[in-house]
Amino acid sequence: MTTVFEKIIRGELPSAKVYEDEHVFAFMDAGQVNPGHVLVATRKPYVTLMDADEDAAAAMMRAAHRIAKAVQEAFQPDGITVLQANRPAGFQTVPHLHLHVLPRYDNDGVDLTWPRKEPGMEKLREYAAKIRL
């Protein structure tokens, strides 16, 4: 299945390109939450972060770093959210690895909330042991 991002990267659909290199293609989100909202997508059509190789994942964050600095300079937001989602349960809406560089302003109406759970240090250490690298 070809995603809308693949079509944008290949030039089959129009975009407002911000940045590109061998690993990523960054462009303005057509659904601007706030002015300066940029998507950074991998050139290869990985579905999730877990599918990508380390070079692509690192390139995405390097590009996001550079773009966030440019967005800060150009739009002077009160903050910036960098968001990367995986699979529908994780709020991913396009099955192509990407992240959002989203300028934020006080009282801009954007919400990012979840129920906070505090399982205690013993449980946290148990969780850590399961994924320790």
Q: What is the pTM of this model?
A: 0.94
Query: Distance between CA 55 and CA 84 in Å, rounded?
Result: 16
Mean pLDDT of the chain, nearest integer = 97
For 18-44, how does the pLDDT look when each residue is reduced to its tens digit (9 = 90+)?
999 999 999 999 999 999 999 999 999
Structure tokens at 84: 């990367």
Active-site annotation holder among 23, 37, 96, 98: 98
Which candidate, 9, 8, 13, places its Cα nearest to that of 21? 9
Q: Is 5 helix (H, G, I), strand (E, B) or coil?
A: helix
Under 8 Å between Cβ of 19 and 65: no
- Whether the per-residue pLDDT at 8 is higher than 90: the answer is yes
Q: Is 65 a catalytic residue?
A: no
* Residues 38-79: tens digit of each pLDDT: 999 999 999 999 999 999 999 999 999 999 999 999 999 999
Please give the average per-residue pLDDT across 90-116, as a whole number: 95
What domains, with CATH codes, occur in the chain? 4-131 (3.30.428.10)
Give the whole-angstrom CA distance, residue 27 versus residue 37: 9
Percent of the chain with pLDDT over 90: 95
User: Looking at the DSSP assignment, which residues form a beta bridge with residue 81?
Assistant: 102
pLDDT number for residue 114: 86
